[in-house]
Amino acid sequence: MGLPTNQRLIGLTGGIATGKSTVGAYLNNQYKIPILDADVYARDAVQPNSPILTAIADRYGPEILQTDGSLNRGVLGEIIFNDNREKAWVENQIHPYVKQGFQQALTELSTAPIIVLMIPLLFEAQLTDWVTEIWVVACDPETQLTRLMARNGLTPSQAQARIASQMPLAEKINRADLVLTNDQTLASLHGQIDQALRK
């Protein structure tokens, strides 16, 4: 995708439960910057009766669905976070839909001076050429594990499997233009964001 030269396109990524959504919410609330969230598009992709959810149910059986026909994320999570081949298969179903959502939104926002593309798999899905700079939200491993367990109601081994299924955070940090450290106070995180935007 060819990038317009006059836009600042920030690729916001990091590890699971490091605080990407917190950063995105602050940028949107404080600065009114449009946030394009890959997770929102990914949720749209698996709405009840959608072709993608039908394909997932065909592969994994009816227990992958809740009684209302929606995706049982817990069951799918147990499958894909313990089997890289299945994880890759599911991502291959969802990624084209997500990319299409981004492309449409970027076309509609062609006059916005700054746009944030919140993409957890920015490196893994090789979408770095979609952005003009990369921000990685990071925290220490203990904080990440604790947050993930609390947020998703996971056991330590379940949370560890989810973290291990992602590209190591250290590798993302090495490839970042900017690292936001999110294991101090919220005020500290907001200060780092304010400073980054002034650059």
Overall pTM > 0.85: yes
Place of tokens 């900017």: 178
Q: CA torsion sign, 187 to 189 to 194 to 199?
A: positive
Longest dimension (CA), the chain: 51
Per-residue DSSP letter, 145: H
Note down pLDDT in tens along the chain; length 199 residues. Answer: 555 458 999 999 999 999 999 999 999 999 999 999 999 999 999 999 999 999 999 999 999 999 999 999 999 999 998 898 999 999 999 999 999 999 999 999 999 999 999 999 999 989 999 999 999 999 999 999 999 999 999 999 999 999 998 899 999 999 999 999 999 999 999 999 999 999 7
Burial degree of 178 (CB within 10 A; 0-12, 13-18, 19+): middle
